[in-house]
Amino acid sequence: MERTVAKCLLEIQSVFYAFEKPFIGGRGTQLPIYCDNRLILSYPRVRKALTKWLVNHVKETYPDVEMIMGTAPAGIAFASLLAEHLGIPMGYVLGQKKDHAFKNRVEGLLKEGVKVLVVDDVIFSGRTLIDVVQCLRDEKCEVLGAVAIVSYELPETIKNLAEHNISYSKLTTYDVINFVAMQSGRISYQEFQKALKFKENPDSNEWVDA
């Protein structure tokens, strides 16, 4: 399934490559790739297929889930699609508390002890996921884990998620997307090697001149 999902993302061009003029990440890091999975929503055929794969994956991996919680903003749409097909409640967690009304971070009717699954579009550093899961645990939920469309599978991210006791799964990965992109001629072998170099040390810009 990972290769098929990767092919779909490349087909709708939701994966952007920037080897000559890298994207700039949140900490000033130069990035060779940007995954804009929100573009999936604009392609009904791919959206339908990915939703089906998500639903089947969750049924197999998290059969006891009682509520879906999305990360805001990117995970909300996918959480909604998933919850609708599973026939269970959904909500989402804001990046910070609202400054009006109830000043809450959690949107949706969240009951104590409910078994929730977090949905995100991309797992990169894992910081957003860790923050969201901690917020839900503070609300006394049972967080079964998380699922994402794409995970970069960075060693430091995997380590940090494990340290916070967060299990997760994904439909495809950074490595699979790049391999499929190389096979299809979207990127060259040299660019594929640069992408691998970036993953070795994401906080370094050495890959740019590799």
Domain containing residue 39: CATH number: 3.40.50.2020
pTM for the model: 0.92
Q: 73: closest CA among 47, 28, 43, 38?
A: 38
* pLDDT computed for residue 20 by the predictor: 87
* pLDDT computed for residue 24 by the predictor: 86
Residue 151 CA neighbour count, 13 Å, CB half: 22
Considering Cα of 200, then 53, then 93, then 139, what sign does the dihedral take? negative
* pLDDT computed for residue 50 by the predictor: 95
pLDDT less than 50: residues of the chain: none
For residue 172, give its domain range.
2-209
d(C-alpha 26, C-alpha 102), whole Å = 30
* pLDDT computed for residue 163 by the predictor: 96
* pLDDT computed for residue 29 by the predictor: 81
Exposed / middle / buried, residue 24 (Cβ in 10 Å: 0-12, 13-18, 19+):
exposed
d(C-alpha 61, C-alpha 29), whole Å = 34
d(C-alpha 43, C-alpha 152), whole Å = 23
- In total, how many domains does the chain have? 1
Residues 5-54: tens digit of each pLDDT: 999 999 999 999 999 889 987 667 889 999 999 999 999 999 999 999 99
